[in-house]
Amino acid sequence: MERFDAIIIGGGATGAEVTRDLTLRGLKTVLLERHDLSSGTSGRLHGLLHSGGRYVVKDKESARECAEESKILLEIASNSAHLTGGLFVGISGIDDPEFRDLFLQGCRECNVETKELSPKEALQMEPYLNEDIESAFYVNDGSVYPFRLIVSTALQAAQLGASIRTYSEVIALHKDDATVTGVRVKDHRKGKIYDLYADCVINATGVWAGEIAKLANIHIPITPSKGVMVVIDRRLFTRVVNRLRFPANGDIIVPHISTAIIGTTSVSMEDPDQFPVTAEEVDEMIREGAVLSPFVEEARMVRAYAGNRPLFGAEPGEEGREISRTFRVLDHETRDGVTGLITITGGKLTTYRLMAEKTADLVAEKLCIHADCVTHKTKLPGAEEHDLNFVEVAKKLKIPWLLADRTIGRWEAEAKTIFTSMEKNPLTRLTACSCEYVSNAEVKYTIDKLWAYTLEDICKRTQAGFGICQGGLCTLKLAYQLFEYSKDNEIADIQKAIIDFIEERWKGTKFVLWMNQLRQELLNQSVFSCVGNYDQLHEKILKSRK
Amino acid sequence: MDIHYDAIIIGAGMAGLTAARKIAEAGKKVAVLSRGLGTTNMSTGAIDLLGYAQNKLVLNPEDEIRNLIRTSPKHPYAILGNGDDKKALEIVKDSIKDFLKITNMAYVGDTAQNIVLSNYFGTYRPSCIIPLTMRHGNLLELTDAKLMAVGVRGYAEFNAKFFAKSLHYVVNSFLRQTTTNEVVPKEITIPSLGKDKDITSIEIAEALDTEEAFSRFLEQLKELITEVDVDAVVVPAILGYKNWVKNHTILEKELGVPVFECLSLPPSVPGQRLQQILENAANDIGVEIHRGLQVLSAHIENNECKTLETVSDIYRQTFKADVYVLASGSFIAEGLYFDGNKFYEPVFNLPVHRDNRNNFSERRLESGNHRIAFAGIQVNQAMKPIAQNGDVLTNLFAAGSILANYDYISEKSGLGVALTTGYLAGVNANNSL
């Protein structure tokens, strides 16, 4: 019988961080995720590291949390969180000029650092901005690459002894009277079912928290709130740019490496598993994005996607109060009379560490463990100081300098592991994805160390296939790596992985197929169907796997 | 100053260059205006006539083209014969005979028989008129064969180990007409291209055009073939740009077993060779190929095209001819556009025909359901496009992937439609002069 101190359900930012936190406090933990790490809401957002500015007018509690937490993240997760700086700009004749004073006052109240800029200064900082600026502020916004943040978090927990199990779905909770004692797990990769037991089960499944709670006959009021994002082919801005107005659809553009993401919407959904993107929403993002920068209309739309935020509804007796967008730690012992189960939900990516800290505090209290939280001062793997220099690395390994530069940019200190493997095995120096400059060694690293089992898993960790070609030219090269390095894959599994990946990428590209991206898609179809014949063979291959 | 031609062709791919050749062969003065390199460059180099019909593998394209003409009267193959399947097949055969002539025996194939080729994905697909270097790669004729798959160190596009395992699995599981005994993966190096760095098929093909690199290549293969007893050797599509036929002949002779290239991803060496064959044949009979020219618009009077306005990086230029052939390709080649709201053909503003269903289907790999593949311009039986007002332009013909009503992706018919319609458009355009 496998026993742990704590079982954490949900491999998003919060679940991974709760695992790291508890492991750092000395607990024996296991993290269970039914898909891949960060495959839920944590991987379906625009990747903004909130300075708090967005919330200073309507949600001061969240604003304060964001202001503090974003500073901590820049310290502990410097490999995936970057201080780009951010602007709030009000557009003449469109944005309500009165919002300016509310914003300034809110920033003061919530300790969100800001500096007013003249329209001329703002345009000097961001030349592609709409020129009709009425007022502008600088804030300490940044960008986060959630996949690597979460993988690094899980990696640290694993290095300290945590067990990270992806594609492992909790299908039942074991209960002994009113105490949750463990979980029943379905391992989707191996197709087997087994049981785990622990003193405490933490439900960190975000927008799906209600479904896990239901297994213990507990009701949690969560309203999924869908947000749609559109990725464009150019960075456009150096900094995050927000509209200076009350939060509304399409009010932000977040730059990420060589792309930018326009976000977002907020639509209440019934089912946490449903987050469709509609053509109207894509149009709206482009239209609103074009208010921030007229150059949005010239850009090539690379893909569109959506995620469901977990908005925590009113608890009984709370009706009528303004519900904050902040998070909730639910102690089901006091709330529902069920011991051994704690739920953490709500919140936002920027505050995931704080959410985990509060959850872990409660777990420690319940298990009578006297250990303080240290996550705020424990750097993630890769975030430690290093002296890697891409010119020297490129020279030494005889690889293109851009490949060295991008690898360091993605993994910082952890890039050493990748370069060491290049030294040992020269063939891993070859390039797997030439849009994003990802080497075979980097792909191998994600397979060996970071729980990458599918092509999509590899791409989320490395950004391979996320460039302009959206996998058209690198799918096969990535499949070769999965074939060479993943341990328990048969050739039929690799063929299935190729087909799955082709369909997975399609989920985001199919919304933006016009002009150049349409050409790209038809070229990709030529590769997959005219060369690979997958349009005719995919059913046969998938069927033979069942 | 305007230059006057007998015929101007827009587009330098398979369709455009075939049409240009047919007109120039009759002694006419012909210019080809091309914006890019020609999409044939991006092809596999194998000419598919019809690979699938009703999602079934086609073994005899002639038979299935006949069926297709009956069931889809708007399909370009049906238009070839104006509904008459005999006449259509005659044109198919004539155009292929004509093509084979210009390849100087470097292509082979029979319109009554598809062959099934392997590719870098380690899967199979049918094709029909193929480069000599692929002739012995017909999986239908390699029943129970033991193959050796040879990769090149540093050439990351092709992984021999993956290819070997996958082809064995896919052929034996799903291609019921044949079986494969075993595929043995091996690796060789091209010393002149350096070690442990990325090399491309272009670099390898250029290297193998030199005697020194090719002899090193041959030596290594010879050594490998003594290690394992195999029935045939499969290599990636890399056997050279100039000397590919010669190299292939030497390989087969020296190794004593059939050797074949498999189909590769774009930009493929065989695709580039095919483009070169078409361009050389056109050049040889005096066709002028103008590159880097975008045709902006056509000047039309009384349903007759008078001139074309073009622009290059440096200047604008007007071209004038008696007859025009529009072979500017589909969306990839920018012969057609879709801007998110409307479809358009940019030069003549021809109506883009399409049905009202969604451009793409829910799943990406859904054969025949991406309706955008069927979008294009409609032509009458003379290969003349039908304009917005329902009339035809008296001196305009169209050919190739700009045509509506067929799905080259799921049918596997791209270069076949381009060749046959380009041929007919060329013949008709010439007859109209």
- A94 and A211 assigned to the same domain: no
Residue A417 falls within a domain, yes or no? yes
Give the sign of the dihedral formed by CA A301, CA B39, CA B259, CA B178. Answer: positive
Instruction: Tell me if chain B has a CB within 8 Å of the CB of A538.
Output: yes
Of A430, A492, A525, the CB nearest to B156: A430
Residue B316, strand partner residues: B311
* Angle, CA of A504, A510 and A511, to the nearest 5°: 125
- A263 and A139 assigned to the same domain: yes
Token pair for A16:
């991974």
- Give the pLDDT confidence score for residue A321 in this predicted structure: 41
Domain count, chain A: 3
- A515 and A453 assigned to the same domain: yes
Q: Do B263 and A531 touch (CB under 8 A)?
A: yes
Residue A416 falls within a domain, yes or no? yes
* Under 8 Å between Cβ of B130 and B108: yes
Residue A231 falls within a domain, yes or no? yes
- A472 and A426 assigned to the same domain: yes
The CATH code of domain B118-265 reads: 3.40.50
**Domain CATH number, residue A292:** 3.30.9.10
**DSSP letter assigned to residue B262:** P
- A400 and A470 assigned to the same domain: yes
Q: Round to whole Å and give the CA distance between B283 and B277.
A: 10
Query: What percentage of residues in chain B have a pLDDT greater than 70?
Result: 100
Q: Do A513 and B265 touch (CB under 8 A)?
A: no
**DSSP letter assigned to residue A316:** T
| A493-512 per-position pLDDT tens digit | 999 999 999 999 999 999 99
* Under 8 Å between Cβ of B343 and B375: yes
- A88 and A232 assigned to the same domain: yes
- A206 and A230 assigned to the same domain: no
Q: Which residue of B has its CA nearest to A474?
A: B157
- A106 and A166 assigned to the same domain: no
Residue A322 has pLDDT above 60, yes or no: no
- Give the pLDDT confidence score for residue A82 in this predicted structure: 95
| Chain A residues in contact with B121 (beta carbon < 8 A) | 476, 498, 531-534
Residues 361-420 of A with CB under 8 A from B: 398-399
| A350-383 per-position pLDDT tens digit | 999 999 999 999 999 999 999 999 999 999 999 9
Q: Round to whole Å and give the CA distance between A142 and A487.
A: 38
Query: Following CA atoms A291, A293, A298, A299 in sequence, which dihedral angle do they give, to the nearest 10 degrees?
Result: -110
In which element (H, E) is residue B63 found? helix B61-71
Residue A281 falls within a domain, yes or no? yes
- Give the pLDDT confidence score for residue B197 in this predicted structure: 87
Q: Do B338 and A536 touch (CB under 8 A)?
A: no
Q: Which residues of chain B have pLDDT under 50?
A: none
Which of A473, A509, A529 is the best substitution to test chain B (most B C-beta atoms within 10 A)?
A529
- A357 and A212 assigned to the same domain: yes
| A200-223 per-position pLDDT tens digit | 999 999 999 999 999 999 999 998
Residue A65 falls within a domain, yes or no? no
Total beta-carbon pairs less than 8 A apart between chain A and chain B: 153
Structural domain boundaries in chain B: 118-265
Closest approach of B213 to chain A, Cα-based (Å): 21
Q: Round to whole Å and give the CA distance between A20 and A373.
A: 10
What secondary structure does DSSP assign to A163-213, as a single string? EEE-SEEEEEEEEETTEEEEEEEEETTTTEEEEEEEEEEEE--GGGHHHHH
- Residue A303 makes CB contacts below 8 A (sequence gap 6+) with A230, A231, A470, A508, A509, A511, A512
Q: Do A535 and B169 touch (CB under 8 A)?
A: no
* Under 8 Å between Cβ of B226 and B150: no
| Chain A residues in contact with B169 (beta carbon < 8 A) | 491-492, 495
- A217 and A351 assigned to the same domain: yes
**DSSP letter assigned to residue A530:** I
Relative to beta strand B316-326, strand B3-10 is parallel
Last residue within a domain, chosen from A349, A377, A405: A377
| Chain A residues in contact with B161 (beta carbon < 8 A) | 483-484
Query: What percentage of residues in chain B have a pLDDT greater than 90?
Result: 91
**Domain CATH number, residue A209:** 3.50.50.60
- Give the pLDDT confidence score for residue A319 in this predicted structure: 45
What domain range includes position A32? 2-41+147-221+314-377
Residue A70 falls within a domain, yes or no? no
Residue from A467, A415, A417 nearest A437 by CA: A467
Assign 3-state DSSP to chain A and report helix, strand, coil percentages, each to 5.
45, 25, 35
- A179 and A288 assigned to the same domain: no
Query: Following CA atoms A370, A375, A378, A382 in sequence, which dihedral angle do they give, to the nearest 10 degrees?
Result: 140
Instruction: Tell me if chain B has a CB within 8 Å of the CB of A334.
Output: no
* Under 8 Å between Cβ of B84 and B64: no
Instruction: Tell me if chain B has a CB within 8 Å of the CB of A533.
Output: yes
In which element (H, E) is residue B370 found? none
In which element (H, E) is residue A469 found? none
Instruction: Tell me if chain B has a CB within 8 Å of the CB of A517.
Output: no
Residue A68 falls within a domain, yes or no? no
Q: Which residue of B has its CA nearest to A517?
A: B332
Closest approach of A22 to chain B, Cα-based (Å): 42
Query: What percentage of residues in chain A have a pLDDT greater than 70?
Result: 98
Residue A103 falls within a domain, yes or no? yes
| B151-180 per-position pLDDT tens digit | 999 999 999 999 999 999 999 999 988 898
- A332 and A466 assigned to the same domain: no
What secondary structure does DSSP assign to A318-367, as a single string? -TTSPPPSSEEEEEHHHHHS-BTEEEEEE--GGGHHHHHHHHHHHHHHHT
Instruction: Tell me if chain B has a CB within 8 Å of the CB of A96.
Output: no
